[in-house]
Amino acid sequence: MTTTIEELEARLEALEAERAAARDREAVIARLLAYSRTIDLGQHEEWIACFSADGAFEMRSHLENYPSRRRVEGRAELADFIATHTGPPETFHKHLYLMPEVAVDGNAAHAAGYFVHLVDDESGSPILQSYGRYRDTLVRDAEAGWLIRERIAEIEGSTGAQR
């Protein structure tokens, strides 16, 4: 059986599309990991830069010891939010992002993954502060790459420690 030039070109085009999709998924995950890294290191400007200009961060919870909903929108509100967030060296924490699922559709992407938020207690020992699920919508920016348009943190469990 002979393969035609057209069939080879079609295969090459399909492979290039798969490769581009894989690069997009990898870039989306890299942005979401940058969110965790920058908040944990106290890099406020870099954390804000993870979001689009109209970006939003929302926390939702059904737990009695946690606020039911808090939303900040736009870079000014995001800056106010992160300015009050704990960070090193006073408090060390880690926002672990696990098992992401990413779907890219042109210049938009949706991601969902679990998070575990660890903090140090008064003695410096790690404790579980909260865990849950992130639901994200991202947009492709010509200059900055993938940016978070909306991140929803669904808090499913918490010690109630607000550090």
Asked if residue 62 is part of any domain, the answer here is yes
Asked if residue 130 is part of any domain, the answer here is yes
Instruction: State the residue range of the domain holding 62.
Output: 5-158
Encode pLDDT of 81-131 as tens digits: 999 988 888 888 999 999 999 999 999 999 999 999 999 888 878 899 999
> For position 14, what pLDDT does the model report?
85
Could you tell me the two tokens for 36?
């965790």
Q: Which CATH number fits the domain that encloses residue 74?
A: 3.10.450.50
Domains held by the chain: number: 1
pTM value is 0.89
Of 55, 49, 87, 86, the residue nearest 152 (C-alpha): 55
Encode pLDDT of 33-48 as tens digits: 999 999 999 999 999 9
> For position 163, what pLDDT does the model report?
42
**By the 8 A CB rule, do 47 and 37 touch?**
no
Asked if residue 163 is part of any domain, the answer here is no
Instruction: Give CA–CA dist 69/46, Å, rounded.
Output: 25
